[in-house]
Amino acid sequence: TSENGIGMFLEKNPDARKQIFLVTKSDRRDPAGMTELLTRSLERLKTDYVDLYFLHGIKASRELNDDVKRWAEKAKSEKKIKFFGFSTHDNMEECLEGAAKLDWIDGVMVKYNYRIMNADRMKAALDAAAKAGIGLTAMKTQGVISGPGKILPSALTDTEADRKLTGQFVQRGFTDGQARLKVVWENPQI
For 65-93, the pLDDT digits (tens) are 999 999 999 999 999 999 999 999 989 99
Q: Which residues of 13-44 are buried (b: 16+ CB within 10 A; e: fewer)?
A: eeeebeeeebbbbbeebeeeebbebbeebbeb
Please state, in angstroms and rounded to a whole number, the distance separating the CA atoms of residues 44 and 64. 26
| Residue 187 scores a pLDDT above 60 | no
Q: What is the pLDDT of residue 134?
A: 98
Q: What is the pLDDT of residue 159?
A: 64
Quote the pTM value: 0.76
Q: What is the pLDDT of residue 65?
A: 96
Give the model's confidence band at 113: pLDDT under 50 very low, under 70 low, under 90 confident, else very high: confident
